[in-house]
Every structure is written in structure tokens, then in C-alpha cells.
Amino acid sequence: MSSRFLDRTSPPHIMTLILLAGLAALTMNIFLPSLPGMARGFGVDYAVMQLSVSAYLGVSAVMQLVIGPVSDRFGRRPVILGGLVAFLLATAGTLLAPTAGWFLAFRMAQAVVVTGMVLSRAVVRDMVPGPQAASMLGYVTMGMSLVPMVGPLIGGLLDEAFGWQASFGLLGVLGLGVLALVWADLGETGARSSGGFGAQLRLYPQLFRSQRFWGYCLAATFASGAFFAYLGGAPFVGGEVFHLSPATLGYYFAAPAIGYALGNFLSGRFSVRMGMDRMIWLGTLAGTLGLGLATGLTLAGVSHPVVFFSGIGVLALGNGLTLPNANAGMMSVRPELAGTASGLGGALMIGGGAALAAVAGALLHPGATERPLLVLMLGSSALSVPAIAWVMRRRAALGV
């Protein structure tokens, strides 16, 4: 192995960040085609197994409130390594769980893998500033999106061949590989705080009082909230409304991943030239218009998986434009608190997503159609537009 990989102080390769964040994204969605079958296998209602999405997101949100400040205090590298070890232990627990209750407990513990997603963003912000960070985040998340693009497809095929446990076994193998890669390649990029948590906490109100920070947070929260509602409801819609097999549903799940990858590519290509705020504005508009068209067609009686998943694909493209730039915007408000900003912003996004995923699960009962889910998603996406408009007006008024 080259000395570059053994240097504990050098910045990581971009592929390391992609795989680190990709593992977190894969953990969220690889098993989604299996959810209806898992509910039947454990002998519980779909709403109970849907907690493996909504409650998982809620735990992820709470953890992100801690991950950011801890990494600002102790460094990115040790926090990421510790999170990966804990993730592997939790994954082993999901495979051994005898009941739905035990499975859900270990599934909640798996949420520690969000450490990689939060801190990969912070590492990028440590390495490059402002619009350059948005551009690099676009490329990182574009590469990362290739992982969840194939995740549900692989999960569906594994389910049909070996059962739902195979998806979690694959997560364990991949987790070991990412742990080894991070150990070898990810050097420390953060400047550790030497004043302790008390001194650090006294700086946080400067971040919390920033209207620009909250504007970016709300734009990202509402835009991503629409997608998390989709994650909570799409397995039901695909399996119970459209009667798709797990493998076929996995193919349809590729549509939003393709849209997200394209949006990320465009962010990487144009964020520096067009600016973060304009990219977020375009992304929120695209997502809302795509969902509006799909909702309108569905309410008019055109109920088909192509209509549903195409609308989600346009939403995902919009999120690919919005989220890298919104995350970079949040972390640019107080660069010395980049980890905290990433964690707080991520907690708001995931927490809001958990709530919407739970609402989606409650709306989708036997006999329901895809309409309630589409209306819920459209409402969330539409709120992201005034949020970024507020930031743009605020910056124009201040002349920045």
C-alpha cells in the first residue's frame, strides 16, 4: 500500500468520501422492496415494519445533533471510525433478531452509520470553501447516488433469491470494506477545538441567530422531506397499489436515483458559475413542478407506476441541485463550526423526513391509493421554494 494511503494527516481521496456517504445511503434503502414481505414474515402490520424507515430517520436526526459537535471537538477521523464499528455490531444484530421488536431495536442502532454522511460533508468543507465546496459536494453526492440507484434493485433480487436477511448481510460485508478504507485513507481534516465543549457551546448562538443559516436549513428540510415521505410510502404503493414484485419495484426505485445523480452532476458542473442560491432556487422549482404534474395526472385518473416514479425522478433531480448547495450554504455561515452546522442541518432534514415518513405510513392503509402520498410530498416540496426565496431576498437586502 502506498505511503499516501498510510498518511493519517492527509486529506482523503474523493472516492473514500463517496463510499463513506454511499454506505449510509445504501443502509437507508437497500431493503425497501422487502418491507411488505418482512411484515408478513414477522407477523406484524406494514405500519410496524415501516418504523424501520421513519423511526430510523428519527434516531438519525437525534444522532446528528451530537455527531457534528463531537467531531468539531475531537476530530473527524476518530468519530467516523467509531461510528463504523458500531454500525457493524448493529448490522449483526439485525441478522440475529428473532422478533420484529428486536429487529427494530438493532435497526435503530444502525442509524449510527449517518456519521459517515454528516462528516463526509464536513470533510469537504474542511478542504475547500464556499461555492467550491458546493461543487465538490455535487460530485461526491453524484457518485454516492450510484450506490442507492442499484441498492433497491439488488435488495429486491437478493430477497427473491435468499430472503430479506441477504440485504443486511451485504451491508455487513460492505461496512467492513469501508472501515478498512477509511482507516487507511482518511486523514484528519478538522482543526480540533482546544477550549472544551463549554467554549464551543458559547459560539453556537452565532450560528443559530443567522437567518441565512435557517433559510438554507428550511429549504433543504422541505425539499428532502418530500423524498423521505416517498421512502416511507413507496414500498406500500409499489407492492400494494401497483402490485409490483420486489425485483420489479427495485427497478422502479432506480428512477429517482438517476434523477438525483443528474442533479448532482449539474451541481458539480455549474454551482461555482451560477452561485449556490440560484442553484437551490432552480432545484426547488424543478422538484415542485415535477410532483405537481404527477399529482395532477393522478388526480385526473391516470394511475400508473410510470407516472408516479417519473414524478419522483424529477423531484430527485431537483434535490440533486438543492441539497449540495444548501449544505454548503449552511456550513459557510460559520466555517469554524462546519461539523456542527452539518450535524444540525442534517438533524433538521432527517427529523423532518422522519415525521413525513411516519405520516406517509399512516396515510397508506389497505385500500389506499398513491394520491395521499403525492399530495403530502407536493406540499412539502412547495414549502422549499419560499424558504430559499427568503435567503435570496435577505442577501440582496444586505448586498452580499
For residue 98, which phi and psi values (nearest 5 degrees)? -85, -20
Measure the CA–CA gap between 31 and 35, rounded to whole angstroms. 7
More confident: 195 or 20: 20
Amino acid of residue 71: S
Q: What would the mean pLDDT of 271-283 be, rounded to a whole number? A: 89
* CA distance linking residue 236 with residue 231, whole number of Å: 10
How far apart, in whole angstroms, are the C-alpha atoms of residue 85 and residue 93?
13
The widest CA-to-CA distance across the chain, in whole angstroms, is 62
The span from the CA of 252 to the CA of 234, in Å, is 10
State the cell numbers at 385: 421554494
Domain ranges of the chain: 3-187+197-398
All three cell numbers of 228, joined, read 423521505
Check residue 283 and give its pLDDT: 96
Q: What is the pTM of this model?
A: 0.70
pLDDT of 58: 83
The answer to whether 31 and 80 are in contact (CB under 8 A) is: no
Query: How far is the C-alpha of 387 from the C-alpha of 222, rounded, in Å?
Result: 9
Q: How far apart are CA 14 and CA 8, in angstroms?
A: 16
User: Which percentage of the chain shows pLDDT scores above 70?
Assistant: 85
Amino acid at position 136, single letter: M
Length of the chain: 400
Q: Residue 277 and residue 274: Cα distance in Å, rounded?
A: 8
Q: What is the DSSP string of 233-298?
A: HHHHIIIIIS---HHHHHHHHHHHHHHHHHHHHHHHHHHHHH-HHHHHHHHHHHHHHHHHHHHHHH
Q: Which of 208-217, 223-232, 322-331, 376-385 has the highest mean pLDDT?
A: 376-385
Q: What is the pLDDT of residues 113-124, one digit of tens each?
A: 988 887 887 787
Give the range with max mean pLDDT: 65-69, 98-102, 143-147, 238-242.
98-102
Q: Which of 57-66, 272-281, 322-331, 335-344 has the lowest mean pLDDT?
A: 335-344
Q: For domain 3-187+197-398, which CATH number applies: 1.20.1250.20, 3.40.50.150, 3.50.30.20, 3.40.710.10?
A: 1.20.1250.20
Q: Which residues have a Cβ under 8 Å from the Cβ of 140 and sit 6 or more positions away?
A: 14, 17, 18, 21, 120, 124, 324
Q: Would you state the pLDDT for residue 5?
A: 46
Which tens digit of pLDDT belongs to each residue from 362-377? Answer: 887 778 889 999 999 9
pLDDT tens string 176-186: 999 999 998 88
3-state SS assignment for residue 110: helix
Going by C-alpha positions, the residue among 308, 319, 333 that lies closest to residue 384 is 319
CA distance 190 to 122: 8
Q: Which of 132-136, 144-148, 276-280 is most confident?
A: 276-280
Rounded to an integer, the average pLDDT of 193-201 is 55
Higher pLDDT, 67 or 149: 67
Residue 227 near residue 259 (C-beta atoms within 8 A): no
**Residue partners of 287: CB distance under 8 A and separation at least 6:** 223, 226, 314, 315, 316, 317, 318, 319, 322, 381, 384
pLDDT at 2: 47
Helix 76-96 to helix 51-74 angle, to the nearest 10 degrees?
150
Residues 103/139, Cβ–Cβ less than 8 Å: no
Residues 6+ apart with CB under 8 A from 353: 57, 61, 221, 224, 225, 227, 228, 229, 231
Question: Where do we find the cell 459536494?
Answer: 137
